[in-house]
Amino acid sequence: MKSLKLLLTIIITGTLLSSCSAIYHDSFEDNYNNQVSLENIVSEYDVWYVDYHRTSGNGDIPYVSKAFTLSFLNGTLYANNNIVDIGRTGNGLGIDVGTYNTYNGLLETNHDIDGANDFEVTIISNNEIRLYNYRQNVNYYLIGYQVNQFDYDKLFYENIEYFLQEYVAWEKVTTTGGIPNTFDYENYLAFTPENITTFYSSQDSFGTQVDYINWDYVGGYEIYDVTGYEDLKILTLNYDEGDIEEFELSVINDGRIELYNVDTKTTYEFSGRGFVQYLKGGKSKIEAKNIVRNDGRKRTKVERKTKIRRNLK
């Protein structure tokens, strides 16, 4: 009997130690321990990056789908719904969007707009957790960072379509080198949340107020990953008239991008005009005329195609 007990102890211990995750359930016996442990887990990191492209399930929690990061601090729920200013808004935590508690072994959140939602929390690794909401049958994957160690490149390039949407217009500020071409005369670009595919272009003169830009061209755009590069994308503009322009797209900072025309070898820099801030339940700026935008922007899973870089500058 002693040998059997010892064998069972070894098997159970080995199983527990080899497990790569831990789920915190509501139970009477360990309610207090769950409360302490779960609070320590969700508050261990300043911000949790919502890796939305790994989301699974068929439901949706709106405030999570809108957020790029979530933070849990002393019962207050914070979110960064914008990429622009993400390191500065709320000292990096974002805006106050509600409350949370871990009293019952579940992560219970109460969003100011979306109301109450509970999550089971599963530890995936030292800085990764999974949030599961059983009512919506949806899993969200979060990666933890301290604010001074946050991976901004990952944020910008994984979500670059959303970054481009955060300004009403992008104004051309410099043109360098290359062969003269028709794109030299296009001074403004706009990217809207219409299926993450619609862009507008204008030849209006520099300094035009964004609300009065006359959008001369419209078309569809697509962004590609680049084989071997984490900090570079390829942008194609497909004009309704049939023309196609292809650029290497780089992020300079949260207010400026660089487009390199791979055919003409011209480098353009564009600066964001008219920042659109997405708050708890909508946005805070009225956009330029004749551009359609969604009031409650949500992220969707982006599955990009991949291209090989054609030119090495």
**Higher pLDDT pick, 7 / 78:** 78
What's the confidence (pLDDT) of residue 64? 97
What's the confidence (pLDDT) of residue 36? 47
What's the confidence (pLDDT) of residue 241? 83
Among 37-46, 68-77, 126-135, 186-195, whose mean pLDDT is lowest?
186-195
> If you average pLDDT over every residue of the chain, what do you get?
85
Strands, E assignment, the chain: 47-50, 56-57, 69-73, 76-80, 95-101, 107-111, 115-125, 128-133, 138-145, 167-176, 188-191, 198-202, 217-226, 229-239, 244-253, 256-261, 266-275, 306-307
* pLDDT band, very low/low/confident/very high, at 158 (cuts 50, 70, 90): very high
What's the confidence (pLDDT) of residue 125? 94
What's the confidence (pLDDT) of residue 277? 77
Distance of CA 38 to the CA centre of its chain: 25
* Average pLDDT score over residue span 252-266: 96
Among 95-109, 152-166, 284-298, whose mean pLDDT is lowest?
284-298
What's the confidence (pLDDT) of residue 195? 67
* Average pLDDT score over residue span 268-296: 63
What's the confidence (pLDDT) of residue 187? 98
φ, ψ of residue 134 to 5 degrees: the values are -75, -25
**Higher pLDDT pick, 197 / 227:** 227
Coil/strand/helix, residue 216 = coil
Say if CB 47 and CB 93 are below 8 A apart.
yes
Separation between Cα atoms, residue 150 and residue 169, nearest integer Å? 27
Q: Which sign does the torsion angle of CA 9, 15, 17, 21 carry?
A: negative
- For residue 148, is pLDDT > 80? yes
φ/ψ bin of 157: left (φ > 0), alpha (ψ from -120 to 50), beta (otherwise)? alpha
Burial of 307 by CB count in 10 Å (0-12 exposed, 13-18 middle, 19+ buried)?
middle
Question: In the structure encoding, which two tokens stand for residue 161, read together?
Answer: 């379509």
- For residue 286, is pLDDT > 70? no
pTM over 0.85: no
Domains, the chain: 2-150 (no CATH), 157-307 (2.40.128)
- For residue 226, is pLDDT > 50? yes
- For residue 266, is pLDDT > 60? yes
- For residue 17, is pLDDT > 90? no
pLDDT by residue (tens digit) across 90-126?
A: 999 999 999 999 988 899 999 999 999 999 999 999 9
